[in-house]
């Protein structure tokens, strides 16, 4: 007997900037992601304010959901998806972010997508902003650093809420909002890179600017949630956190304290604001020690209280350790690394694989907030081999997913209220951190390669057939 809810939201996750392509079609404007070049595990991708002839910008075509949505949704339906996580590309609706009237062709595209999902009884889960800030807002306001961007975001929400009120119930205000606590977040999520040109790994660490930008995102998120609450009571509004669990490397109290601090700064801070409705007191010391002053307007604190989320979602890929010893062995990870855990293996990109860490993490989050949780990203980025007969034997991916689902079920037995599971990049998409195609997560393979070639054909991997059974049995047959 399945331990999961009967209405468990099984599905898969994507984001427009990595999946949709058609970057300048039907009136769409450029987003920050459209200005990023490709890269690799060893060579960072770059952001360029102007188009460089002969350079590849992988988001621009991506894996072309725009022209394949019917085929892709049919594949999702064949696996039995109950839920389809996607994002709306802000610049398809407001090409510069600043228009007063939305772009009808952009709105019409998502009508078609939602209708197609509805045809199969699949519930959309929509991320309102997933690394798709209009580039024009970077040029004019230094991205989210400009308080003006709050109003542009709210206008965008008003339009999509009104238009899709009968088609979409589950919304996430920002993807991995805590990305803004990291230097890399200046590119991906805050767009505080006015005039910057260069590798995403060398963006200056401007904490004052980033934390001010984050404050604006908190206010924008709260305003959107308040609006939903007042006008669309049927909506379920959630936050989305990149959760990179840390363990103390040893029981040395210095390691333990360092770990606690990292957990707060990266994993807890943003959701403490979005779930509880106020800044946690531990941030005061951090702000003081880093000379950060958050400019708030009257009413901001009130808004944060009024605009708290109804459910908590997160991405989970890896864990790392924290050590007070500066010579400890470093390891990479999703946005943040840490030091190596001798008990864990890592993926080809150095992300440490830790299924039991997911059980631990779900319990920690649920203990803290006591609201429904959903794992909206998880998966293994790996090199896949497409066989001549069109098959892909990805037993390593099946193992990864199976072990994580097992631990998710353990967490449910522990008492966690879990709504659903949408593994990342259920169909191959461009990698967010490196801009590669070679780093694949999909259960469906897409013929698209790092040099930009490929006919975009879709092929079912072994994991496709496996996941179909998992869904059919509500997680019993793993």
Could you give the CA distance from residue 252 to residue 248 in angstroms, rounded to a whole number?
A: 8
136-175: contacts with ligand BGP (CB under 6 A): 175
Nearer to ligand BGP by Cβ, of 304 and 375: the residue is: 375
Nearer to ligand BGP by Cβ, of 4 and 344: the residue is: 344
CB of 74 to ligand BGP, least distance (A): 24
- Give the one residue of 177, 431, 461, 475 binding ligand BGP; rule: CB under 6 A: 431
Catalytic residue, from 20, 377, 409, 436: name it.
377
**x-marked contacts with ligand BGP along 213-242 as a string, rule CB under 6 A:** -----------------------------x
Q: Which stretch in 263-271, 383-391, 403-411, 429-437 sits in contact with ligand BGP by CB under 6 A?
A: 429-437
- Give the one residue of 267, 378, 407, 433 binding ligand BGP; rule: CB under 6 A: 433
Residue with token string 């589950």 = 170
Could you give the CA distance from residue 104 to residue 414 in angstroms, rounded to a whole number?
A: 47
- Give the one residue of 8, 9, 10, 15 binding ligand BGP; rule: CB under 6 A: 15
- Give the one residue of 38, 315, 341, 407 binding ligand BGP; rule: CB under 6 A: 315
CB of 334 to ligand BGP, least distance (A): 5
- Residue 322 is among the residues annotated as catalytic for this protein: no
CB of 388 to ligand BGP, least distance (A): 27
Q: Which stretch in 65-73, 153-161, 303-311, 430-438 sits in contact with ligand BGP by CB under 6 A?
A: 430-438
CB of 431 to ligand BGP, least distance (A): 3
- Give the one residue of 424, 464, 466, 467 binding ligand BGP; rule: CB under 6 A: 424
- Give the one residue of 28, 68, 439, 459 binding ligand BGP; rule: CB under 6 A: 439
Q: Which stretch in 95-103, 287-295, 360-368, 426-434 sits in contact with ligand BGP by CB under 6 A?
A: 426-434
CB proximity list for 392: less than 8 A, separation 6 or greater: 384, 385, 386, 445, 459, 461, 462
Considering the rule CB under 6 A, would residue 176 count as an interface residue with ligand BGP?
Answer: yes
CB of 1 to ligand BGP, least distance (A): 33
Nearer to ligand BGP by Cβ, of 431 and 463: the residue is: 431
CB of 377 to ligand BGP, least distance (A): 6
CB of 365 to ligand BGP, least distance (A): 17
318-337: contacts with ligand BGP (CB under 6 A): 334
211 near 144, Cβ under 8 Å?
Answer: no
Q: Among candidates 177, 56, 75, which has minimal Cα distance to 116?
A: 75
Considering the rule CB under 6 A, would residue 381 count as an interface residue with ligand BGP?
Answer: yes
CB of 373 to ligand BGP, least distance (A): 17
Catalytic residue, from 61, 176, 410, 436: name it.
176
Q: Which stretch in 20-28, 204-212, 269-277, 431-439 sits in contact with ligand BGP by CB under 6 A?
A: 431-439
CB proximity list for 66: less than 8 A, separation 6 or greater: 20, 21, 22, 25, 109
Considering the rule CB under 6 A, would residue 377 count as an interface residue with ligand BGP?
Answer: yes
107-126: contacts with ligand BGP (CB under 6 A): none
Considering CB under 6 A, how many residues would be counted as binding ligand BGP?
15
Active site residues: 176, 377
Residues that bind ligand BGP (CB under 6 A): 15, 18, 175-176, 242, 315, 334, 377, 381, 424, 431-434, 439
């Amino acid at each position: 007997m399945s331990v999961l809810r009967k209405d468990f939201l099984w599905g898969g996750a994507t984001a427009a900037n990595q999946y949709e392509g058609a970057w300048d079609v039907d009136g769409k404007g450029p987003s920050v992601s459209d200005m990023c070049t490709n890269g690799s595990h060893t060579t960072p991708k770059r952001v360029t304010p102007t188009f460089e002839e002969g350079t590849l910008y992988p988001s621009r075509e991506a894996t072309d959901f725009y022209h394949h949505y019917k085929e892709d949704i049919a594949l999702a339906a064949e696996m039995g998806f109950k839920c389809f996580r996607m994002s709306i590309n802000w610049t398809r609706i407001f090409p510069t972010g600043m228009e007063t009237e939305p772009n009808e062709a952009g709105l019409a595209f998502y009508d078609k997508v939602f209708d197609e999902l509805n045809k199969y009884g699949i519930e959309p889960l929509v991320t309102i902003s997933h690394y798709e800030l209009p580039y024009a807002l970077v040029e004019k306001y230094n991205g989210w650093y400009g308080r003006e961007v709050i109003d542009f975001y709210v206008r965008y929400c008003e339009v999509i809420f009104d238009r899709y009120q009968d088609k979409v119930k589950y919304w996430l205000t920002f993807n991995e909002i805590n990305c803004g606590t990291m230097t890399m977040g200046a590119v991906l999520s805050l767009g505080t890179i006015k005039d910057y040109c260069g590798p995403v790994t060398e963006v200056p660490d401007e904490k004052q600017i980033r934390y001010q930008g984050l404050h604006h995102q908190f206010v924008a998120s709260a305003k959107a949630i308040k609006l939903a609450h007042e006008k669309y009571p049927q909506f379920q509004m959630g936050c989305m956190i990149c959760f990179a669990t840390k363990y103390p490397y040893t029981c040395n109290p210095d390691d333990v304290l360092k770990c606690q601090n990292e957990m707060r700064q990266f994993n807890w801070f943003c959701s403490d604001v979005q779930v509880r409705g106020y800044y946690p007191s531990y941030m005061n010391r951090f702000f003081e020690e880093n000379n950060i002053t958050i400019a708030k307007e009257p009413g901001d604190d009130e808004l944060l209280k009024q605009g708290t989320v109804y459910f908590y979602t997160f991405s989970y890929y890896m864990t790392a350790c924290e050590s007070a010893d500066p010579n400890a062995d470093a390891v990479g990870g999703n946005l943040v690394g840490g030091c190596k855990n001798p008990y864990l293996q890592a993926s080809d990109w150095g992300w440490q694989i830790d299924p039991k860490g997911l059980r631990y993490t779900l319990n920690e989050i649920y203990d803290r907030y006591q609201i429904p949780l959903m794992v909206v990203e998880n998966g293994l980025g790996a090199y896949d081999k497409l066989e001549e007969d069109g098959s892909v034997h990805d037993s390593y991916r099946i193992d990864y997913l199976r072990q994580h689902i097992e631990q998710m079920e353990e967490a449910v037995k522990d008492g966690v209220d879990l709504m659903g599971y949408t593994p990342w990049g259920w169909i191959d998409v461009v990698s967010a951190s490196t801009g590669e195609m070679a780093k694949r997560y999909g259960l469906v393979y897409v013929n698209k390669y790092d040099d930009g070639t490929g006919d975009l054909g879709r092929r079912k991997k072994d994991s496709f057939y496996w996941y179909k059974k998992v869904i059919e049995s509500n997680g019993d047959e793993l």
